[in-house]
A and B are shown apart, each in its own frame.
Chain A
Amino acid sequence: MTETDRPIRVLVAKVGLDGHDRGAKVIARALRDAGMEVIYTGLHRRPEDVVTSAIQEDVDVIGVSILSGAHMTVFPRIIELLEEGGADENTLVLGGGVMPDEDVEELKKMGIAEILGQDTPPDAVVETVRHLVEERGARV
């Protein structure tokens, strides 16, 4: 057996003061219905909470939903913490929410795998996650 026998594991997180979690919950369900194991963190988490959870749970993907405008603070911090924890190579970070195009570009340069805007259909999120995990290949 190979490591691919394990379902894709995704941490779905809400960070900071942003209390709008309907989108995150819809995405969590869509990923579950696609056969993935989704760990939901609940609201108002710190980047530290997200990265600690991701490392303990050994997830393939972290999906952060942000609608508050704090993305340029939150994502760099998550990337930094993943590097500190030695988990940056294996963990893909995806963002979802409302963000200006120029920020999206900059976030991708920082190492965010993909930003999915507010109009992305759940199926497209599922496909993106599958594709990115496949592209990353077997884990170290």
Chain B
Amino acid sequence: MARGVDSAQSLIEQVRAGHVPSIARMISRIESGADGVVEQVAELYRLGGHARIVGITGPSGAGKSTLLTSLVRELRARDKAVGIVAIDPSSPFSGGSILGDRIRMSELYHDPDVYIRSMATRGALGGLTRATTDAVAVLDAAGKDVVLVETVGVGQDEVDIVRACHTTVVISAPGMGDDVQAVKAGILEIADIHVVNKADRPDANKTIRELKMMLKDAGQLSTGGWNVPVLATVAEDGKGVDELVDALERHYDHLLSSGEIEERERTMAAHRLKTIIQNVALDRIEDPSTGSDFDEAVEEVRLRKRGPFTVALDLLESSV
């Protein structure tokens, strides 16, 4: 798609200039692990560091995509260039996926300062693919002021978002089962900002009240001098979205003024490194050309000839 781009360097220049087909191509190259992509990502990573990265998560049906669309509209009204990475799960059986987040975002298609990319988890542990953080780095280097990372579902996957974002927004909605059961423990704690969407429903106040109570009980209403707000929105007509963008700005200001930004970015960098190390180690161990025989190691463990921990350490020592 990047016709006329004849070298890796010019692809990077095109990405920096915000050339959409080049941004798209670069993300595909990352996804497929194309030749030379490690160097390209390194270059882009060095150039980035300006975008605010915001994670958005919550149970399916809470209205994430719709709220995202309203949120982008408001960010655009404040003259921010926006990148969106929308993540959906891959089927564990076929590896395929249906990525449907664009359905609700069609009004954003023709704004040249909005870029939307759908990504599948491709079986990655932790929901955020190895490629996701690199895709965020591409959008950062491409000059986006805000990069929104949207993930579906609830659980451990979402905890990983925090480790890749400056601010995490957790969305829930009234009527999603007993109390706020949809927002399970673990998800509650990762939010810097809580949003109760569909707040025009009659039971919305009850949900907001219960959520605040749960946060209070868990000692999560205030962390590190930041009071976690519980906001009410109606994504369909944009109600409350103004306040959400205000809260995002307030949180970022808080990170800067309290110095917590350093700690966040250290966590982000550490998580990124750990993920890469895990992936590379596994790749090497499973690669027969490194001299290790992973299949045989599996057999040894299966037949209980040797302990799994011993075998794992041996594999690490011999091939990493």
Tell me whether A6 and B94 are in contact in the complex, defined as CB-CB below 8 angstroms, given that A49-B106, A56-B115, A57-B118 are known contacts: no
Residues of A within 8 A of B100 (CB): 39-40, 42
Minimal Cβ-Cβ distance residue in A for B27:
A58
Q: Pick the contact of B3 from A29, A36, A58, A86 — CB < 8 Å?
A: A86
Q: How far is the CA of A34 from the CA of B25 in the complex (A)?
A: 23
Q: Which of A58-89 contact B (CB under 8 A)?
A: 58, 85-87, 89
Contact A2 B34 (CB under 8 A): yes
Q: Which of B11-39 contact A (CB under 8 A)?
A: 20-21, 24-25, 27-29, 31-35
Q: How far is the CA of A35 from the CA of B96 in the complex (A)?
A: 4
Q: Does A28 contact B (CB under 8 A)?
A: yes
How far is the CB of B34 from the nearest CB of chain A, in Å?
6
Q: Does B98 contact A (CB under 8 A)?
A: yes
Q: Does B2 contact A (CB under 8 A)?
A: yes
Contact B95 A1 (CB under 8 A): no
Tell me whether A42 and B24 are in contact in the complex, defined as CB-CB below 8 angstroms, given that A5-B33, A86-B1, A90-B1 are known contacts: no
Minimal Cβ-Cβ distance residue in A for B31:
A6
Contact B24 A34 (CB under 8 A): no
How far is the CB of B60 from the nearest CB of chain A, in Å?
15
**Residue count of chain A within 8 Å CB distance of chain B:** 38
Q: Pick the contact of A41 from B2, B21, B29, B103 — CB < 8 Å?
A: B103
Q: How far is the CA of A56 from the CA of B103 in the complex (A)?
A: 14
Q: Does B110 contact A (CB under 8 A)?
A: yes
Minimal Cβ-Cβ distance residue in B for A90:
B1
Q: Does B102 contact A (CB under 8 A)?
A: yes
Q: How far is the CA of A4 from the CA of B27 in the complex (A)?
A: 14
Q: Does A132 contact B (CB under 8 A)?
A: no
Minimal Cβ-Cβ distance residue in B for A39:
B99
Contact A89 B94 (CB under 8 A): no
Contact A38 B24 (CB under 8 A): no
Residues of B within 8 A of A42 (CB): 100, 102-104, 106
Tell me whether A7 and B96 are in contact in the complex, defined as CB-CB below 8 angstroms, given that A2-B34, A52-B110, A58-B24 are known contacts: yes
- Interface 1/0s, chain B 101-113, versus A by CB < 8 A? 0111010011000
Q: How far is the CA of A34 from the CA of B90 in the complex (A)?
A: 12
Residues of A within 8 A of B32 (CB): 1-6
Contact B94 A34 (CB under 8 A): yes
Contact B102 A53 (CB under 8 A): yes
- Interface 1/0s, chain A 18-45, versus B by CB < 8 A? 0000000000110111111111111001
Q: Does A109 contact B (CB under 8 A)?
A: no
Q: Which of B112-128 contact A (CB under 8 A)?
A: 115-118, 120, 122
How far is the CB of B38 from the nearest CB of chain A, in Å?
11
Q: Does B258 contact A (CB under 8 A)?
A: no
Tell me whether A55 and B95 are in contact in the complex, defined as CB-CB below 8 angstroms, given that A39-B118, A48-B110, A49-B106 are known contacts: no
Residues of B within 8 A of A140 (CB): 1-3
Contact A85 B21 (CB under 8 A): yes
Q: How far is the CA of A91 from the CA of B110 in the complex (A)?
A: 20
Minimal Cβ-Cβ distance residue in B for A30:
B96
Contact A56 B20 (CB under 8 A): yes
Contact B24 A56 (CB under 8 A): yes
Q: How far is the CA of A45 from the CA of B109 in the complex (A)?
A: 11
Contact B96 A31 (CB under 8 A): yes
Minimal Cβ-Cβ distance residue in B for A140:
B3
Minimal Cβ-Cβ distance residue in A for B101:
A39
Q: Pick the contact of A58 from B1, B95, B106, B109 — CB < 8 Å?
A: B1
Contact A38 B98 (CB under 8 A): yes
Residues of A within 8 A of B27 (CB): 58
Top 7 A-B residue pairs of the complex, sorted by shortest distance between their CB atoms = A42-B103, A6-B32, A58-B24, A32-B96, A1-B33, A35-B95, A35-B96
Q: Which B residues lie at the A interface, using CB under 8 A?
A: 1-4, 20-21, 24-25, 27-29, 31-35, 90-91, 93-100, 102-104, 106, 109-110, 115-118, 120, 122
